[in-house]
Amino acid sequence: MTATTSTLEILHAARARFEAARQIDMLPDGHRCRGMHGHGFAATAYAGIPVDWAPYPGGEVNALQQQLDRCASMLSYGVLNQQLAQPTDENLARWIRDRLEVPGIDRVAVQSTPHQGVEIDGRDHAHIWRRYRFQAAHRLPHVPPGHKCGRLHGHGFEVILHASQNLAGTAERIDYDHLDSLWAPIAAQVNYHYLNEIPGLENPTSEMLSSWLWAQLKPQLPTLSWVTVYETASCGATFDGTDYRIWKDFTIDSAVRHRHAPANEPRSAIHGHTYTLRLHLSAPIHQVMGWTVDFGDVKAVFDPIFKSLDHHPLHEQPELADGDTTTIARWLHATTRRQLPQLARVDVFESEGGGSLVGGHLNGPVLPV
Ligand SMILES: Nc1nc2c(c(=O)[nH]1)N=C([C@H](O)[C@H](O)COP(=O)(O)OP(=O)(O)OP(=O)(O)O)CN2
């Protein structure tokens, strides 16, 4: 459930890490995860927290964090089977969700490794995802002369395959392993290759790559819900079979204080964060360029706003005086949309996974931060 202000949806987010052991007995004999083993888990909760629930306006993310930390501490350095019989990622996410004493929980995600996880959405559906890497070269043949992406260059690309399926009663490893088996022939085509030489990838933007991957995979994986392509660590595209979305991350190092925090709350004093700002844009694909909006144009348009925030005291700007991530994300959404009407959503994280999401619609894949 999201909190809504006129046309905007707002989600607060928090993440907690915990180390724990588990064995998953329902897996077939011989499977590596049948034996006792351990993971460094990350749990993330997203909630549209109603006004007046947190101890002070602007304290929502911290209040959610405390709740999530409490749940994680019940699991930390323990054997998960003592809490739940089949501690798959999906079951863990439900277990945590059921113990969060927070109104407006929208989704809960669990990552068992940096490369895989499950998210339980507001309709109780499970979305599993798994991340793959490949090394490849490309050039964008239609960009204007002098554009750096017109030159032959390369990336360590990352792809996340998201499948929407309810794993209840089935073995989680079948699904992760199934994704692996579908990815293997694609990896053989793209890894250590020049993408422009692959039929269908003559203009290999992130957008074109995401829809090309979708076309390869969807017939074999009807539950495929999104394909996400990271072109670099800070930008990429997502395709859901119909619509494209891109995102671009920015990092700002800024000071802040929470105006409404009580004096005994550390956030009432001047402090600071290395924030991650993630701008999501949604637009029809340009038929020649093969992209929605050039990442470079997003950077150029956002640059003055970026410069007004980076290495500045945010709370000294009248619109940001409250100092919390929701206020910052709302302001960024309003201010940036005037210059970039394709802006669909803004995420502001003050810590790993902890922050606020603001936009017209907040559905879509939650990308690991
Ligand atoms: N919408 C798209 N825009 C751009 C794409 C694309 O696929 N879709 N691709 C490129 C280039 O190939 C390029 O490699 C990406 O460059 P850039 O946007 O500059 O991203 P960086 O991470 O290198 O930028 P930083 O300066 O590190 O922020 C261009 N545009």
Task: Round to whole Å and give the CA distance between 279 and 90.
Answer: 28
| pLDDT tens for each residue of 58-95 | 999 999 999 999 999 999 999 999 999 999 999 999 99
- The pLDDT of residue 27: 78
Task: Round to whole Å and give the CA distance between 89 and 43.
Answer: 10
List C-alpha distances in Å: 30 to 27, 33, 34, 35, 84: 8, 8, 7, 9, 22
State the ipTM, two decimals: 0.94
- The pLDDT of residue 228: 97
Q: What are phi and psi of 85, to 5 degrees?
A: -65, -45
**Do 301 and 266 form a contact (C-beta atoms < 8 A)?**
no
Question: How is residue 313 annotated by DSSP?
Answer: B
- The pLDDT of residue 173: 47
Query: Which of 295, 299, 303, 310 is the pocket-test mutation for ligand 1 (most atoms within 8 Å of CB)?
Result: 295
| pLDDT tens for each residue of 184-196 | 999 999 999 999 9
Q: What are the sequence ranges of the domains in the chain?
A: 1-121
- The pLDDT of residue 221: 93
Question: How is residue 140 annotated by DSSP?
Answer: -
- The pLDDT of residue 369: 59
- The pLDDT of residue 171: 47
Determine the distance separating the centroid of ligand 1 and the alpha carbon of 329, expressed in angstroms: 23
- The pLDDT of residue 362: 81
Q: Which CATH class is domain 1-121?
A: alpha beta
DSSP states of 183-212: HHHHHHHHTTEEGGGSTT-SS--HHHHHHH
Confidence class for position 174, pLDDT limits 50, 70, 90: low
> Average pLDDT of 2-23?
86
- The pLDDT of residue 124: 86
**Do 116 and 177 form a contact (C-beta atoms < 8 A)?**
no
| pLDDT tens for each residue of 319-357 | 999 999 999 999 999 999 999 999 999 999 999 999 999
- The pLDDT of residue 5: 55
Q: Which residues line ligand 1 (CB under 6 A)?
A: 140, 149, 205-207, 231-232, 234-235, 246, 291-296, 299
Residue 4 pLDDT exceeds 80: no
